[in-house]
């Protein structure tokens, strides 16, 4: 079955040969790339340039509203905080700027196909036209393909959500093998979701903020099986990369220590100062702190020796934000495995940040 899906030549034997497995992985990766290019169900290029209108939908009442437990003032403060965070996310990408932002109330939830009623949408379109805006970000974790399509029809421009923006940030700044593998893994739910939508709707893929293309060479069953196989391959490669990094750290460990290393994982909100702290403690030349969101995209390990001669390994971890989609977090579970096995967790907060209390609550 696998050979048929990958269309492998008979040169590749499946009898336990390591070279065969590497060839299979390579063939699988090539077919996967061909599939997403033909289907159009992958993210638009991160080098696009847009001027954004950022909209935060504030749920006014209903079971998903905070009105029963939170005062109106606190609800507004939280909405302002989330809107500011969304603006900062958009601005993290080169070529993306924000011309205007607004908080717009909606009733009950954000699952309706257009989220807002006709009157509010008309007002938002006026704002979009007045400021010559070329893209809209709706500050929810993930829009459905139907919502993206409906809102595209309303605004006449690309529609983004938090998942889309964060993935583009990750793709733009990823440098290490582990980071790139994790990002490709995180992109799979997005691809799968939109492929299914395009299977049943006569829709231009660009409306879903993906590249143009039509699936030509894969039947429905084959392409979803290919996605499943590619996901398995990515998880295996990621696990191997993480294990290799841990083994390499052990080999390079300083001599003269009397006890096994203590693993100290430094966690916290993105851009809280985790990398800067570890660099100060270890003097690691490989660490370079940056003042931007998601400067760290995978876990890196750095050794230091305490005055007691105990060897300590500090784990610099990826930071997260509020309202991060579960699928995105799950894709980074492999490199976060160090946190699970830590002896000590150090939770960093940037007390100079105006929203430090909200960040502490969201990250606890």
Which domains does the chain carry? 50-170 (3.40.50.11060), 174-253 (no CATH), 259-362 (3.40.50.300)
Q: Point out which residues pair with 59 in neighbouring strands.
A: 106
Measured in degrees and rounded to the nearest 5, phi and psi for residue 159 equal -115, 125
Q: What is the DSSP letter of 298?
A: S
**Tens-binned pLDDT, residue by residue, of the chain (364 aa):** 333 333 333 333 334 444 444 565 666 666 666 655 554 445 555 557 899 999 999 987 655 555 555 677 888 888 898 899 899 999 988 899 999 999 999 887 889 999 999 999 999 999 999 999 999 999 998 899 999 999 999 999 999 999 889 888 888 887 778 778 888 888 888 888 888 888 787 776 667 665 533 333 345 557 788 888 888 888 888 888 777 766 655 555 555 544 567 889 888 888 888 888 888 888 888 777 777 777 776 777 888 888 888 888 888 887 777 767 666 666 666 667 667 778 888 888 887 766 666 656 655 5
Report how far residue 139's alpha carbon sits from residue 292's, in angstroms, rounded to the nearest whole number. Answer: 19
| 224: nearest Cα among 250, 248, 178, 191 | 191
Report residue 121 as tokens.
């949408």
What secondary structure does DSSP assign to 199-243, as a single string? Answer: HHS---GGGGTB------S--HHHHHHHHHHHHHHHHHHHHHHHH
Q: Cα(267)–Cα(348) distance, rounded to whole angstroms?
A: 6
Where do the DSSP E strands lie in the chain? 50-59, 96-106, 135-138, 159-160, 262-268, 300-305, 311-316, 344-348
Q: Report CA-CA distances (Å) from 262 to 20, 279, 342.
A: 39, 17, 8
Cβ 314 vs Cβ 338: under 8 Å: no
Of how many residues is the chain composed?
364
DSSP assigned state of 261: P
Q: How far is CA 191 from the centre of its chain?
A: 13
**H or E element: which one contains 312?**
strand 311-316
Q: What is the pTM of this model?
A: 0.74
Q: What is the dihedral of CA 193, 199, 203, 204, to 10 degrees?
A: 80
C-alpha–C-alpha distance, residues 246 and 340, integer Å:
14
Residue found by looking up tokens 């030349």 in the block:
285
Residue 340: count of CB within 10 angstroms of its CB: 8
Residues 6+ positions from 104 with CB-CB distance below 8 Å: 55, 56, 57, 58, 116, 120, 124
């Amino acid at each position: 079955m696998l050979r048929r899906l990958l269309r492998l030549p008979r040169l590749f034997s499946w009898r336990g040969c390591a070279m065969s497995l590497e060839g299979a992985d390579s063939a699988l990766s090539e077919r996967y790339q061909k599939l997403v290019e033909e289907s159009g169900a992958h993210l638009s290029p991160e080098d696009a340039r847009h001027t954004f209108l950022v909209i935060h939908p504030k749920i006014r009442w209903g079971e998903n509203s905070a009105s029963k437990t939170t005062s109106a003032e606190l609800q507004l403060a939280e909405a302002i905080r989330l809107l500011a965070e969304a603006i900062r996310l958009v601005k993290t990408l080169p070529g993306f700027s924000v011309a205007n932002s607004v908080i717009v109330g909606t009733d009950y939830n954000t699952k309706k196909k257009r989220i807002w009623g006709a009157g509010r949408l008309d007002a938002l379109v006026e704002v979009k036209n007045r400021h010559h805006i070329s893209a809209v970000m709706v500050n929810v974790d993930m829009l459905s393909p139907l919502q993206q399509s409906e809102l595209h029809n309303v605004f006449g421009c690309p529609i983004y959500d938090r998942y889309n923006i964060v993935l583009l940030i990750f793709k733009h700044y990823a440098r290490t093998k582990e980071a790139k593998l994790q990002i490709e893994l995180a992109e799979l739910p997005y691809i799968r979701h939109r492929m299914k939508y395009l299977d049943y709707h006569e829709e231009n893929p660009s409306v879903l903020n993906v590249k143009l293309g039509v699936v030509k060479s894969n039947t429905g069953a084959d392409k979803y099986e290919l996605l499943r196989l590619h996901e398995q391959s990515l998880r295996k490669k990621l696990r191997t990369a993480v294990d290799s990094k841990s083994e390499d750290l052990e080999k390079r460990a300083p001599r003269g220590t009397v006890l096994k290393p203590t693993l100290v994982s430094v966690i916290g909100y993105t851009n809280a100062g985790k990398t800067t702290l570890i660099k100060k403690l270890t003097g690691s030349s490989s660490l370079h702190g940056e003042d931007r969101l998601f400067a760290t995209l995978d876990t890196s390990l750095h050794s230091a020796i305490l005055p007691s001669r105990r060897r300590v390994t500090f784990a610099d971890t990826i930071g997260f934000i509020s309202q991060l989609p579960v699928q995105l977090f799950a894709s980074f579970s492999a490199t976060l495995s160090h946190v699970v096995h830590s002896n000590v967790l150090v939770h960093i907060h940037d007390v100079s940040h105006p929203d430090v209390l909200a960040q502490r609550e969201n990250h606890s």
